Homo-oligomer: A and B are copies of this chain.
């Protein structure tokens, strides 16, 4: 058998379509994970209020929240089954970057398996509010890491942008969720110490950072919706924020304040979820449009090839010059289409690789040094400033050290 240039042109276009279909599948998984994170954030909030009130209020909500998480888990599970571990799924192809993606999924599934014992501890008030909150936040962090890994499977710049926008937004929303939980605990306890003030300020700053990245990569429609919602942020929310960030003791009825804060922040976070849903829709639409474009292009290719006169495929044979030019045009067309994507993708990949390093270094500081996300970010940023280096460089250095420590079993 001798393969010709045309065989590979067609194979290249077909593989492009398959890659895009896999991206679509990845986008659907990300959507399901976004929903799971949302209900986990709610469960964390309710558990928080329950623990802060010493089990006085919202005990009746806990099982409902847990049920919602389980339903969302089931939806994610459906997408995981479709991923095909053996490698014989959708058209016989597995996703790109599968080993890393699967490793992230393993971490997610393990973190979810730690929820039932956590719920028991909460129900019986056998865990402190900060410990319970940290446990939930860690579970959510493993989910965000999965979304970030999914963003790295994309070989299409438009889709990469949509995934980056979505990931940044989800990260910002999670910091908003942590702010909600921390504030609720403070208002319920009628007390914010200096440490709490610092944490809250760092969470607010962290949100701004994430939403800034989101605006860099987001589609105009999602951006417009988000800007509209920022303007709608209630003045009550800002007043609460000011109290939480500056006052040491709060005077009003503790329980009322806490519940009101929770309601106000929940409205804000639910509004974020609607933006997230729009982002998800745009991501899907973007994948589907690219698939349609590639399919049209593939059909045109096949048509042109069909119109070419039959030729002996053997390479020693002389191909007539006219036919050779027609083949060259097809070969170059496919090459040009891919290269046009590559130029933009190269810059995005660098951005993504750098952000990935920073996320991992933060993850390590959080997991092994017990820092919060904003603390981990501040640590890296301070190191970068002191050593006059860029954040990704510092992150890379830190991960090399982390690896040595891990090898020594420290």
Contacts and interface: CB of A to CB of B under 8 A. Distances in A.
Secondary structure of the A side of the interface? helix
Interface string A89-111: 00111101111111111110110
A13 interface: yes
Contacts of A97: 96, 155
Interface stretch (A170-178, A204-212, A354-362): A354-362
Interface stretch (A24-32, A219-227, A315-323): A315-323
Q: Which of A11, A93, A328: most chain B CB closer than 10 A?
A: A11
A232 interface: no
Nearest to A3: B80
The 8 lowest CB-CB distance pairs between A and B, nearest first, are A12-B102, A8-B106, A5-B110, A11-B85, A5-B109, A16-B99, A12-B103, A346-B353
A317 B70 CA distance: 12
Contacts of A102: 8-9, 11-12, 15
A18 interface: yes
A16 B181 CA distance: 39
A264 interface: no
15 contacts: A5-B107, A11-B85, A93-B93, A103-B338, A106-B334, A107-B332, A113-B315, A113-B319, A336-B406, A339-B403, A342-B360, A343-B360, A343-B403, A346-B396, A349-B353
A318 B116 contact: yes
A100 B342 contact: yes
A318 B117 contact: yes
Contact of A110 (B327, B346, B349): B327
Contacts of A396: 343, 346-347
Interface of A: 1-13, 15-16, 18-19, 70, 73, 77, 80-81, 85-88, 91-94, 96-107, 109-110, 112-114, 116-117, 120, 155, 315-319, 321, 324, 327-328, 331-332, 334-336, 338-340, 342-343, 346-347, 349-350, 353-354, 356-357, 360, 392, 396, 399-400, 403, 406
A109 B8 contact: yes
Contact of A360 (B73, B106, B110, B339): B339
Contacts of A319: 113
A106 B324 contact: no
B106 A403 contact: no
Contacts of A350: 349-350, 353-354
Given A103-B338, A350-B350, A331 B110 contact: yes
Given A92-B92, A399-B339, A403-B343, A85 B356 contact: no
B8 A99 contact: no
Nearest to A341: B100
Contact of A338 (B18, B99, B353): B99
Given A113-B324, A336-B403, A406-B336, A106 B9 contact: yes
Contacts of A7: 85, 106
Given A8-B109, A86-B92, A336-B403, 6 more contacts: A3-B85, A9-B102, A9-B103, A9-B106, A12-B102, A349-B349
B343 A70 contact: no
A392 B350 CA distance: 12
Contacts of A13: 99
Given A15-B87, A109-B3, A70 B335 contact: no
Contacts of A86: 11, 92
A346 B358 CA distance: 11
Contact of A94 (B5, B93, B317, B339): B93
A96 B99 contact: no
Residue from A100, A114, A403 whose CB has the most chain B CB atoms within 10 Å: A100
A408 to B, nearest CB: 12
